Amino acid sequence: MSESEQHELGFPGARRANLKLRRGIYLLPSSMTVANMLCGFYAVMATLKGGGTDLDNAAKAIGLAIVFDSFDGFVARATHTSSEFGKQFDSLADMVSFGIAPAALAFTWGVRGIAETEFLDIRRLHAIGWWVALVFVICCAWRLARFNIQGMAPGTGSKYFVGLPCPAAAGLIAATVHAIKLPIEDWRWSVFWMIVVIVDAALMSSTVRYRSFKDLPMAARQRSVFVIVIGLLVWLIVAYSEVVLMVIATSFVASGLALHLVRMVRHYLVSHPAKT
C-alpha cells in the first residue's frame, strides 16, 4: 500500500505526520513570542552597558519586539492555534519587553547621566527616577493583567483597547531615545522626561480608549492599496526612522487623549443641553 493510500485511510504513519505538522503550527506563534522576549532581554542587557550606541540599540530592540508581538497574535489567529498557554506566555514576554526593558532604558537615558548641580540633590533626583521607572513597570503589569481578564473595551468588539497598550507605551520611550540618542544631562530636561514617563504609565492603567485597528476592512479589492501603504511606511521607517517612529508613537498616544476629550465634551453637551 502506498504512502498516499495510508494517508487516506488514516494509518499511523499519516497520523504521525499530521501530528508533527500540527505541532509545527503551534510552535509558530510561540517562536514569535520567544523572539519578542529575546529582544526585550537584549534591550535590558544593552541598557546596562549605558553607552550612547548601546542605548540606541536597546531602543531598536524594543521596536523589534513590538513587531514580533504584533505577529504572534496574527499568526495564532491565522493558524487557529490560540491557546490559554500562548496568552499567558505572551503576557510574560510583554512584561520583559514592554515593562522592564523600557523602564530601565528610561531611567538610564533620562536620569542617570545628569550633571551635578548646586540647585538640586542629584541623589534625590536619581531616587525619584528609580521610583518613576518602578511605577512604569507596575502599570505595565496592571495593564497586562486587566487585558487578560477583561479583553477589549466592552461593547466595541475588537475595535478599542482599554488604556494605552503596553507596546505603544514602550514604543514612545524607545522612539524618543532613538530620535534624540544623546542621554539627558540637564536636570530640568530630566524632570520633564520623568513627567512624560509617568503620564505614559498612567495612560496604560487608565480607561482611555485606543484604537486597535483590528476592525479595518481587508476586502480583496483593498489589499493592493493596503500593501502599497505598508510598503511606503516601511520605506519611510528605514530611511527616516528617527522622525517617522517619533511621529507615529506620539500621534498614537495623543490620539487616545484627543478622542477621550471629544467624548467628554460630547457627553457634557448631551447631558447639559443649551437652554433656549
Taking the C-alpha atoms of residue 111 and residue 39, their distance in angstroms, rounded to an integer, is: 23
Taking the C-alpha atoms of residue 160 and residue 106, their distance in angstroms, rounded to an integer, is: 27
Question: What is the model's pLDDT at position 122?
Answer: 78
Q: Is the pLDDT of residue 121 over 80?
A: no
Question: What average pLDDT does range 95-121 have in this prediction?
Answer: 87
Question: What is the model's pLDDT at position 268?
Answer: 79
Question: What is the model's pLDDT at position 1?
Answer: 46
Q: Is the pLDDT of residue 265 over 50?
A: yes
Taking the C-alpha atoms of residue 61 and residue 100, their distance in angstroms, rounded to an integer, is: 13
Question: What is the model's pLDDT at position 99?
Answer: 97
* Helical packing angle, 187-205 and 241-271, nearest 10°: 50
Residue 4 in any domain: the answer is no
Question: What average pLDDT does range 254-261 have in this prediction?
Answer: 92
Residue 1 in any domain: the answer is no
Domain count, the chain: 1
CATH code, domain with 82: 1.20.120.1760
Q: Which residue has the higher pLDDT, 232 or 137?
A: 137
Question: What is the model's pLDDT at position 221?
Answer: 54
Report the candidate in 61, 19, 68 with the shortest Cα–Cα distance to residue 41.
61
Residue 21's domain spans which residues?
A: 11-271
Tell me the range of 34-43, 110-119, 210-219 where mean pLDDT is highest: 34-43
- ∠ CA 54-124-174, nearest 5°, is 30
Say if residues 181 and 94 touch (Cβ distance below 8 Å): no
Residue 3 in any domain: the answer is no
To which residue does cell 495593564 refer? 143
Residue 5 in any domain: the answer is no
Question: What is the model's pLDDT at position 222?
Answer: 55
Question: What is the model's pLDDT at position 15?
Answer: 58
Question: What average pLDDT does range 46-55 have in this prediction?
Answer: 92
Q: Which residue has the higher pLDDT, 43 or 6?
A: 43
| % of the chain at pLDDT higher than 70 | 80
Taking the C-alpha atoms of residue 88 and residue 104, their distance in angstroms, rounded to an integer, is: 23
Let me know if 184 is exposed, middle or buried by CB neighbors in 10 A (0-12, 13-18, 19+).
buried
To which residue does cell 505603544 refer? 168
Question: What average pLDDT does range 72-89 have in this prediction?
Answer: 75
Global pTM reads 0.83
Q: Average per-residue pLDDT in the chain?
A: 84
Residue 156 in any domain: the answer is yes
- β-pair type (160-162, 209-211): antiparallel
Say if residues 170 and 102 touch (Cβ distance below 8 Å): yes
Taking the C-alpha atoms of residue 100 and residue 107, their distance in angstroms, rounded to an integer, is: 11
Question: What is the model's pLDDT at position 272?
Answer: 75
Residue 258's H or E segment, with its range, is: helix 241-271
Residue 121 in any domain: the answer is yes
Say if residues 157 and 211 touch (Cβ distance below 8 Å): no
Question: What average pLDDT does range 194-223 have in this prediction?
Answer: 81
Residue 177's H or E segment, with its range, is: helix 166-180
- ∠ CA 155-161-165, nearest 5°, is 170
Question: What is the model's pLDDT at position 42?
Answer: 97
Please provide the distance, in angstroms rounded to a whole number, between the alpha carbons at the two ends of the chain. Answer: 89
Taking the C-alpha atoms of residue 199 and residue 247, their distance in angstroms, rounded to an integer, is: 18
Taking the C-alpha atoms of residue 17 and residue 14, their distance in angstroms, rounded to an integer, is: 5
Let me know if 72 is exposed, middle or buried by CB neighbors in 10 A (0-12, 13-18, 19+).
buried
